[in-house]
């Protein structure tokens, strides 16, 4: 797993980086919050470890900035702090911190917190996939309901229109009129074909239309 680690203590960084690397993680190590934000913007890691007190930009402000970046809402932010007052921890949670770890940090403690982060990230991934599947199912259901309504409201009058147009073609008095009526029959059949293809749509996908809007791709279904 990719990790951005920010701590202004070179010794602390070495200890945590060694622990994380030993467990197979790819660590980008920086010395302050500003560099942490830049590193996150560059590599979008799922895990960010921030010391609270750092020069230039502290851990809380770095967390806020990371949350505002693309992908920042999905990252797991672990804060390292020597503060143990309730108000401090409330501030950290308010800034978007997911978990915190009290100093001094030991390799065992860090490894345990990273396991917690990995589990939370996996749970969030599964939840997002479930939400996406539910949204897709709801979209399919809405399309199905719309299709049934269209079939109900259109098919009967469309069939009657087609029959009358075909009768008029047979009884047309002039070639010009017959030609015009043939066009009416053709267009009526095309409308009927669109309704049929809608009813056969199993996995709808969208395509771009004029003005940047989207529409269902009926061309994916053979006529």
Spans of the chain below 50 pLDDT = 223
At 116 the pLDDT is 95
Same domain for 65 and 22?
Answer: yes
Predicted pLDDT of residue 153: 77
pLDDT for 220: 57
State residue 18's pLDDT score: 96
Mean pLDDT for all residues in the chain: 86
Give the pLDDT confidence score for residue 136 in this predicted structure. Answer: 73
Task: Find the domain containing 198 and state its range.
Answer: 133-220
Q: Mark whether 75 and 21 lie in a shared domain.
A: yes
Same domain, 93 and 181: no
126 domain residue, yes or no: no
35 and 86 inside one domain: yes
pLDDT at position 45:
97
101 and 137 together in one domain: no
Asked if residue 138 and residue 86 are part of one domain, the reply reads no
Tell me if 57 is assigned to some domain.
yes
pLDDT at 39: 97
- Say what the pLDDT of residue 215 is: 66
Instruction: Flag whether 125 is in a domain.
Output: no
The span from the first CA to the last CA of the chain, in angstroms, equals 48
Please write down the long-range contacts of 183-190, taking CB distance under 8 Å and 24 or more positions apart. 188/158, 188/161, 188/162, 189/162
CATH number at residue 216: 1.10.287
Residue 116 lies in a domain: no
Domain membership flag for residue 66: yes
Last residue of a domain, one of 89, 105, 121: 105
DSSP symbols for 6-71? E-S-HHHHHHHHHHHHHTT-EEEEESSHHHHHHHHHHH--SEEEEESS-SSS-HHHHHHHHHHSTT
Tell me, yes or no, whether 17 and 97 share the same domain.
yes
Sign of CA dihedral 70, 75, 79, 85: positive
Residue 174 in any domain: the answer is yes
101 and 10 together in one domain: yes
Q: What is residue 202's predicted lDDT score, i.e. its pLDDT?
A: 66
The reply to whether 81 and 15 lie within a common domain is yes
Identify the pLDDT of residue 67: 95
78 in Cβ contact with 100 (< 8 Å)? yes
Say how many domains are in the chain. 2
What CATH number does residue 75 fall under?
A: 3.40.50.2300
């Amino acid at each position: 797993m990719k990790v951005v680690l920010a701590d202004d203590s070179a010794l602390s960084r070495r200890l945590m980086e060694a622990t994380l690397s030993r467990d197979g993680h790819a660590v980008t190590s920086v010395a302050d919050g500003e560099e942490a934000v830049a590193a996150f913007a560059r590599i979008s890691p799922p895990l960010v470890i921030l010391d609270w007190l750092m020069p230039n930009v502290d851990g809380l402000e770095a967390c806020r900035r990371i949350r505002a970046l693309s992908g920042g809402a999905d990252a797991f932010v672990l804060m390292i702090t020597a503060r143990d007052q309730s108000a401090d921890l409330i501030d950290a949670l308010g800034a978007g911190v997911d978990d915190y770890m009290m100093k001094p940090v030991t390799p065992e403690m860090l490894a345990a917190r990273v396991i917690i982060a990995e589990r939370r990230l996996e749970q969030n991934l599964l939840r997002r996939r479930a939400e996406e599947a539910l949204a897709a199912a709801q979209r399919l259901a809405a399309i199905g309901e719309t299709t049934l309504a269209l079939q109900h409201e259109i098919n009967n009058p469309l069939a009657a229109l087609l029959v009358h147009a075909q009768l008029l073609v047979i009884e047309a008095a002039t070639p010009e009129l017959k030609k015009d009526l043939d066009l009416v029959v053709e267009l009526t059949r095309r409308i009927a074909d669109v309704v049929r293809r809608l009813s056969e749509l199993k996995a709808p996908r969208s395509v771009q239309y004029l003005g940047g809007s989207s529409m269902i791709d009926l061309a994916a279904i053979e006529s």
